[in-house]
């Protein structure tokens, strides 16, 4: 695997800017910021001090926090399957499945339950302990279709796997039914900051996303919620996103950190690749402010070398998606991940 990402330092003031240059010994982060205490009263100023700290100091501190809550060698492997592809009515600027964009993705109907169960069995055999199902919907209107999803959840749960779905917006009643069916987690990313959000999506509000997170949390389902970097947002937008996540009533159980995969035909197709050190910085800051969460190295991983991924794991990432596709975009296959695990001395969570 070769890297498609650059490793140069962005200029100060640029998107994802690096920490300012310092003369003399590397300054240490204040102990109160890296205590590892689980708290939901973070201020933006505190998170900014963490985010903009010198990178090696930041990674040292995040790795230290990581070891207080997690086995640094243990990585959760998840498999993500698109159970309903394309034709989505939302206009998310990064998404090749939007009906608003002209991409190579062709709309497909919902997969049948037997196919989904077979995919879940194959994922488990390949080492995944969580199976995630994604449907390109704004929300599920059809109750018959929703009952079909509930049956899929029950069948995957019966394989003794964690089960996650992402179905767009969710009502309180739907969340309760998913919980009763055995759902482990619900993925609903915030994508970016509240201030930058309408530059990326206009068919759904930020508050809509927060409302769905509340419905999921109130139903007793774990929340999987993160964002995407590299869409044109500023470093301050990334800090705002981290602040929103870290000040939820409960931290998300898992936090996907995605690098934009610029897909031809989407409004963001010309965005340059994210510098891998920006991913490391975002993961490290997320680890410090949400110490008990699983930080998932998600989209964009296929463009990273083993060494670059190792930096992300050192910074605090302890979960990844495995398998050739993330819904419709390329990902690392299981054989490549097994080789990487062997080289780095990592162990899958089973």
**Active-site entry in 78, 92, 225, 312:** 92
**Active-site entry in 88, 225, 312, 332:** 88
Q: Copy the structure tokens of residue 125.
A: 């055999």
Q: Which residue has the tokens 């949390």?
A: 217
- For the question of residue 332 being annotated catalytic, the response is no
- For the question of residue 95 being annotated catalytic, the response is yes
Strands 325-326 and 329-330: antiparallel
**Active-site entry in 164, 225, 312, 332:** 164
Q: Which residue has the tokens 């680890």?
A: 287
CA separation for the pair 267, 194 (Å, rounded)? 19
**Active-site entry in 78, 95, 225, 312:** 95
- For the question of residue 312 being annotated catalytic, the response is no
- For the question of residue 88 being annotated catalytic, the response is yes
Q: Which residue has the tokens 């492997």?
A: 77
* CA 236 vs CA 17, 228, 282, 316: distances in Å: 10, 14, 12, 21
CA separation for the pair 28, 57 (Å, rounded)? 7
- For the question of residue 26 being annotated catalytic, the response is no
**Active-site entry in 296, 301, 312, 332:** 296
| Residue (of 205, 200, 136, 213) closest to 168 by Cα position | 136
**Active-site entry in 78, 130, 132, 225:** 132
**Active-site entry in 78, 204, 209, 224:** 224
Cβ-proximal residues to 40 (8 Å cutoff; 6+ apart), any chain: 246, 247, 248, 249, 250, 251
Phi and psi at residue 139, to the nearest 5°? -170, 165
Q: How many other CB atoms are found less than 10 A from the CB of residue 158? A: 12
Write out the catalytic residue numbers: 88, 92, 95, 132, 164, 224, 296
């Amino acid at each position: 695997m070769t890297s498609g990402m650059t490793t140069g330092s962005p200029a100060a003031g640029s998107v994802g800017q690096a920490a300012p240059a310092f003369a003399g010994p590397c300054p240490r982060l204040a102990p109160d910021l890296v205590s590892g205490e689980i708290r939901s009263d973070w201020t933006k100023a505190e998170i900014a001090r963490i985010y903009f700290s010198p990178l090696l100091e930041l990674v040292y501190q995040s790795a230290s926090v990581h070891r207080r809550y997690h086995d640094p060698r243990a990585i959760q492997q998840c498999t993500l399957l698109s159970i309903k592809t394309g034709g989505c009515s939302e206009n998310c600027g990064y998404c090749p499945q939007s009906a608003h964009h002209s991409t190579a993705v062709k709309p497909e109907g919902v997969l049948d339950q037997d196919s989904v169960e077979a995919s879940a069995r194959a994922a488990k055999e390949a080492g995944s302990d969580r199976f995630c199902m994604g449907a390109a919907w704004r929300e599920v209107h059809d109750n018959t279709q929703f009952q079909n999803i509930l049956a899929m959840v029950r069948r995957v749960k019966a394989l003794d796997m964690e089960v996650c779905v992402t179905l767009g917006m969710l009502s309180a009643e739907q969340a309760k039914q998913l919980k009763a069916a055995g759902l482990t987690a619900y993925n609903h990313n915030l994508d970016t900051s509240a201030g930058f959000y309408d530059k990326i999506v206009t068919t759904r509000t930020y508050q809509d996303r927060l409302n769905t997170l509340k419905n999921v949390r109130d139903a007793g389902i774990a929340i999987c919620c993160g964002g995407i970097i590299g869409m044109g947002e500023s470093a301050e937008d990334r800090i705002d996103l981290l602040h929103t996540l870290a000040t939820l009533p409960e931290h998300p159980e898992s936090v996907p950190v995605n690098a934009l995969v610029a897909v031809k035909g989407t409004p963001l197709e010309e965005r340059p690749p994210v510098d891998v050190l920006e991913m490391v910085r975002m993961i490290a800051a997320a680890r410090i402010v949400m110490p008990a969460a699983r930080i998932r190295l998600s989209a964009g991983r296929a463009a990273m070398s083993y060494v670059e991924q190792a930096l992300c794991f050192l910074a605090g990432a302890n979960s990844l998606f495995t398998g050739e596709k993330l819904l419709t975009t390329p990902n690392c296959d299981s054989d490549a991940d097994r080789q990487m695990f062997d080289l780095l001395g990592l162990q899958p969570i089973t």
